[in-house]
Structure 1
């Protein structure tokens, strides 16, 4: 007999998903702090445009951080919450002293590439586990971020 959690998912599948979601959470936390720094430190002729765009981006990332942590809890697991763990687990690296607008945008695009790939992996695991909640969350993130990546690529020319 299967061991099911409170939302009716097999506990081992929920644990596997939560582990991947914790990896995603680590990436989002570093991504968020990088973009926050870009917002504070960007300089140049596109300052006003990029300052506003970076604020929009980090606000979106912060919402996703909370949603991912809550999804981990819904799966019956605990979200990691130490920056040392985030730094250790994240594929996105800290950006320090980056203030050139184009370089900031390139970093954001690189980060989207990482989180989109990880979300696709989670989407597949969620499908295998019949976890529609995680599936829906990841599908929504992917479709939003693909459009954003296209727009940022167009911005860079």
Structure 2
């Protein structure tokens, strides 16, 4: 078994980098969705939601950087063009979302898709004995599950 400089299986690290690039594309779409709803939200809940959406996009932007740096740590190259993101993202794209419920639904749908990808990476990183990626995915999942719960509560829906 060939290992890389951080002691991980080189082939498994390459595969994880590919999965992380998929996550990166999805996060970039999620981030841009959050920017859009932050800018375009209207209605009586504007002030509360405008601030919340800024909190969420700031957090998403940090995660984008963390994912890209993890890809580099594993020896990969983070994708960085809109073309790459469009080709590999499964997160729904929100365009001209102005209503509060539509915005919250977009967040829930986006996070649901992110969680699918993160769980796949969690399993693969566990199998590769990659504690760095595994820990990052575990932290992301825990935080995003809570955000989904809160957004679903806002929508008055069960988890």
What SS does the corresponding residue of 2:44 show, helix, strand or coil? coil
* Aligned residue number for residue 127 of structure 1: 126
Question: Shift of the alpha carbon at 1:95?
Answer: 1.4
Given that 2:39 and 2:50 are in contact with CA atoms closer than 8 Å, whether structure 1 keeps it comes out as yes
C-alpha RMSD of the superposition: 0.6
User: How many Å separate the matches in 2 of 1:87 and 1:29?
Assistant: 9
Any gaps of 5 or more consecutive residues in structure 1? none
Aligned to 2:93, what secondary structure does the other structure show? coil
Runs of 4+, deviation exceeding 2 Å: none
Residue 76 (structure 2) aligns with: 77
Alpha-carbon distance in structure 2 between the residues aligned to 1:36 and 1:53: 11
Distance 1:104 1:53 in 2: 11
Take 1:112 and 1:34, find their aligned partners in 2: how far apart are those partners? 11
TM-score, with structure 2 as normaliser: 0.97
Q: Provide structure 2 residue ranges, at least 5 long, that are not aligned to the other structure.
A: none
TM-score, with structure 1 as normaliser: 0.98
State the match for 1:142 in structure 2.
141
1:61 maps to what in 2?
A: 60
Give the Cα–Cα distance (whole angstroms) in 2 for the partners of residues 55 and 24 of structure 1.
21
Contact 2:92 / 2:109 at 8 angstroms: preserved in 1? no
Contact 2:33–2:93 (CA<8 Å) still a contact in 1?
Answer: yes
Q: Is the Cα–Cα contact under 8 Å of residues 23 and 89 in structure 1 kept in the other structure? A: yes
Residue equivalent to 1:31: 30
Q: Distance in 1 between matches of 2:143 and 2:119?
A: 13
**Where does residue 47 of structure 1 map in the other structure?**
46
* Separation (CA, whole Å) in 2 of partners of 1:120 and 1:138: 7
